[in-house]
Amino acid sequence: MDDPSGGQIALYIVLGLAVLFVVIGLIRAVRIVPQATAIIVERLGRYSRTLDAGLHLLIPFVDRVRAGVDLREQVVSFPPQPVITSDNLVVSIDTVIYFQVTEPKNAVYEIANYITGIEQLTVTTLRNVVGSMDLEQTLTSRDQINGQLRGVLDEATGRWGVRVNRVELKSIDPPDSIKGSMEQQMRAERDRRATILTAEGVKQSQILTAEGEKQAAILRAEGSAQSAILNAEGEARAILQVFDAVHRGDADPKLLAYQYLQVLPKIAQSPSSKMWFLPSELSGALGAFAKGFAGGDDAGGVFGSSRPAGESPLGDDLPPSTLTDPAEALAEAKRESAAATADATSAGNLSGRPFDAGAELGQRPGAGAAPLRPTSDPAPSLQKPEDSTPE
């Protein structure tokens, strides 16, 4: 007779196995897919369907999950690859690939490992592109290299269900010797630019300085011209006023002779006068001066006057003046004339030529002697005011 306790134990074991089978079946039948993830499901070893994000039920022990594919954009950085340029220089290029799986089925069934395929395809394409460029073009044509790499990769990975979004070159490292040469070239180029800029600055500075000096010279010349014009106008007005005063005063020979004798010592004392002239007949001038002060009517020549006797020499509208005694004035004039003659003789001896009174004091034709003007200090004219014309 069988033991009833052993049969119960066997029943419990069978029930437990059944419950465990049901639990495992439920676990395998229910599949929750996260967002941005795709799951490839095979039924009896063949592709069945692709599960998107959400809750899905599978047939236990019939349906099987082959692989899960990440649908987000991925970034893969590949190690530096040695590449030879067209001028036989080896450079190390580090690349970064941005790609995204668009067809999970193709990414699983068309290629075993699409990341490795992308890496190898990038290396070979990079060598082909860079191999047709020299170092200078490689360093300055990053955008061109990126565009060519992206075009080749996108065409090759399209059948894998992968889309390459971007290809970037992180670094292009030439050899150390080439780096030193490039640094020297860059330094020389910067020095050349600095020299050119300095020369341009000096040129502009000189041009501005020359323009300033030109304008300053023009303004100074204009100022000098205006000053000369104003001085000439002032002198002309002064001459006209003196000429008008002489005409209104009607100066007689006595006043003119006395003024002339007073000017002679000043001519000799002037430091700028190297040579000066005496009248052709000094005694004749002194005689005319004496006759003029004596009141004689025969003091003609250059000191003659046509004014009637008894009429005031300065006109009726001018106040009377007090004159010096004629004898004292004559003696003072002789002394000043003798002193002027002695100064002229000493000046001629110092200049290396003896003073010759006959040569220097030549007799001029005519009844009277007319004094000549010096070269540096002009003397007043002894002609009558009516005969002289202002400049």
pLDDT digits (tens, 9 = 90+) for 262-306: 777 776 676 665 665 555 545 555 666 566 555 544 444 444 444
Q: What is the pLDDT of residue 98?
A: 92
CA-CA distance, 383 to 303, in Å (whole number)? 8
Q: Structure pTM?
A: 0.45
As beta bridge partners, residue 139 has none
| pLDDT < 70: residue spans in the chain | 1-4, 250-257, 260, 267-268, 270-327, 329-330, 333, 336-337, 340-341, 343-391
Spatial distance between the Cα atoms of 123 and 151, rounded to a whole number of angstroms: 14
CA angle (176, 181, 182) in 5-degree steps: 95
Domains of the chain: which residue ranges? 4-70, 74-174, 196-249, 251-360
The whole-angstrom separation of Cα 96 and Cα 164 is: 11
Q: How many other C-beta atoms can be found within 10 angstroms of the C-beta atom of residue 29?
A: 15
| Confidence (pLDDT) at 350 | 46
3-state secondary structure of 218: helix
Distance of alpha carbon 95 from alpha carbon 123, whole angstroms = 9
DSSP 222: H
- The tokens describing 222, both together, are 């204009």
Burial of residue 285, with CB atoms counted within 10 A of its CB: 0-12 exposed, 13-18 middle, 19 or more buried = buried
Rg (CA), the chain: 64
Q: Which pLDDT does position 340 carry in this prediction?
A: 63
Please state, in angstroms and rounded to a whole number, the distance separating the CA atoms of residues 84 and 95.
16
Buried b (16+ CB within 10 A) or exposed e, 231-253: eeeeeeeeeeeeeeebeebbbbb
CA dihedral 96, 102, 108, 111 (to 10 degrees): -50
Asked if residue 99 lies in contact with residue 69, where contact means CB atoms within 8 angstroms, the answer is no
Residues 89, 137: contact at Cβ < 8 Å? no
Bridge partner residues of 217 (DSSP): none
Between the two ends of the chain, the Cα-to-Cα distance in Å is 176
Residues with Cβ < 8 Å from 64, sequence gap 6 or more? 41, 42, 43, 45
pLDDT at 326: 55
What's the CATH fold of domain 74-174? Tetrahydropterin Synthase; Chain A (3.30.479)
Residues 135, 137, 142, 146, CA torsion sign: negative
Q: Which tokens is 186 given?
A: 């860059």
